[in-house]
Structure 1
């Protein structure tokens, strides 16, 4: 019998939260911060809109590391990350959230599925 899945709490902006909750966003992009280095398939992620009680739980299906955001977008396909924006728009948006020194830590593509 497997141990209980770990639950991670991560903040998400409203526009991305809504895409996750609708099942339209299946890849979450994060920087490889030390606290996410051991994130693995099977872990539960509870997304929260910062400053609210709104949450949405997903299960990590796969975690793939990329050297940078461009490689991640090319490897995963922009439509899985944000079906409402072009690749170039997404790259610009991600880089507003994560400046170059953060991107240098490495990029994580987390394939997610809504929990039943």
Structure 2
């Protein structure tokens, strides 16, 4: 029998984005399409951690959509879902400051998330 238990992905997140996730206002997480995220799918769990701390926040993955790059992702998903406090252009600049061009060239993932505390209610 196959194991149907969804994997928990442990990912680091900057404080500013962690706080938006914990508040339930950030509903799209953007990541580069790294091989270790290949099995990320609806129904799975992401445990975000602020690097260097014990603070964590679990979210349920609702959907994963692939895009060729960050600009296409922000255009397709709407910038407000990734960071309601920044414009499209600000988010694009922030993403490109985090990920160099060779990483963006791998493709981008829009991961629709729901904060676990919201799922339980």
Structure 1, unaligned stretches of length 5 or more?
none
TM-score in terms of structure 2 length? 0.93
Alignment of 1:62-73 (within 5 A): 62-73=63-74
Counterparts of 2:43 and 2:104, CA distance in 1: 25
TM-score in terms of structure 1 length? 0.97
Aligned length: 115
Say yes or no: does 1:32 pair with 2:33: yes
Runs of 4+ in structure 1 deviating by more than 6 angstroms, as ranges, are none
Secondary structure at 2:60's aligned position in 1? Answer: strand
Structure 2, unaligned stretches of length 5 or more?
none
Counterparts of 1:13 and 1:24, CA distance in 2: 15
Residue of structure 1 equivalent to 2:100:
99
Counterparts of 1:98 and 1:37, CA distance in 2: 18
Counterparts of 1:40 and 1:5, CA distance in 2: 9
